[in-house]
Structure 1
């Protein structure tokens, strides 16, 4: 009889495993320099982008309104298509913690976004060599916090969803998704306080490495 697959670790990508905002900030700074635009505009652009939660077309529209004919539409499209995927980095401590976790349970990335962009980040950062699989919202037709995307993630590795842990930085997407399914969760806070939600994560950790380590410490 085949050994049962243990419950998985379902972990977010952007601003959890990788610092998506830092990578995008670098890309924006380079973009502004290339087109001789005000470098302080990077703060405005980061606000408009809202950590990737603003729809791509809305960001493009805001940039067109601000920069008019100074920047070709194709240059804006290229920036948003790439999404700084070529600049993301997996911190060594996060990789080490994830490798420890992956030695004992399936680890699956669960991320909202466009498939090509998110898979480019996964491969560029080397995460494809650590995790057992991933699901991207565009590919499965469901976005976090919808239960379907978490079920698809568990199915990817043939693991039961019951008993799984969810790790992520978004209260609305990651922790709410775990709450809907009755799963345990760790919120990656980055130093933010947990407020304004009718539910709470099982644990709170400053970063992904600490979050993963706290899960490993659970009997």
Structure 2
């Protein structure tokens, strides 16, 4: 199997939920609203984030439109996300061992690209695919195949998809013909079942290197 590893971005390579909590605290302090409600509503929300801010506006009777709130959020979130140092080092180790490394993420281009660049991930990967930019969303197998191609390889030659979402990363990666590594902090029995489970990107990379 060829040395290809594709990674999800939010809550895999970057600590998105921690960043959202920081954003929610800032937003709550500025507008006098309930930060806990924001965090809980975010956890329940599926799909693109734009509609989430219509809910926020309506819930708290804010004067700004949902679109204005959404734009403000997109500007701020890339400044708040962090990537763990040990995970960046693990990516560097993969590439030093001859692997091609890519990112596959759903989301808006500006927001996700800001996260990739602000955390330094752009210097640790060969390519990325962002759903808004390429017109494909996980779990569509096409976005994984495109990411592989941008890394200079074909998904037909095999490789790995690493991510925290069973529906998007594990099912989608498997449908594209990739082996899968699930980033989990729950210990729950997964369905669909990944090839491996790990508590962090660094732990997953260690398993990928051992499997190779």
Map 1:1-219 to 2 at 5 A: 6-37=2-33, 41-50=34-43, 53-69=46-62, 71-73=63-65, 76-82=69-75, 84-103=77-96, 104-161=98-155, 162-195=157-190, 197=191, 199-219=192-212
Distance 1:32 1:131 in 2: 35
**Do the aligned partners of residues 67 and 170 (structure 1) sit closer, same or farther apart at CA in structure 2, a change above 3 Å counting?**
same
TM-score between both structures, scaled by the size of structure 1: 0.88
Greater than 2 Å deviation, 4+ residue runs:
50-58, 71-75, 77-83
**CA displacement at 1:62 relative to structure 2:** 1.1
Cα 1:80/1:52, change in 2 over 3 Å: farther
For 2:121 and 2:46, locate their aligned partners in 1 and report how far apart those are by CA, in whole Å.
22
Instruction: Tell me the secondary structure at the aligned position of residue 109 of structure 1.
Output: strand
Whether contact under 8 Å (1:56, 1:80) holds in the other structure is no
Change in Cα spacing, 1:140 to 1:157, as seen in structure 2 (3 Å) is same
Q: Is the contact made by 1:16 and 1:188 (CA closer than 8 Å) also made in structure 2?
A: yes
State the 1:218 CA deviation: 1.1
Aligned residues: 209
Does structure 2 retain, via aligned residues, the 8 Å contact 1:15–1:21?
A: yes
Runs of 5+ unmatched residues, structure 1:
none
Higher helix content, 1 or 2: 2
Q: Would you say the 8 A contact 1:85–1:118 is kept in 2?
A: yes
Deviation at 1:54?
Answer: 4.1
Please report how far the alpha carbon of residue 63 of structure 1 lies from its aligned counterpart in structure 2 after TM superposition: 0.8
Aligned-pair RMSD on alpha carbons?
1.9
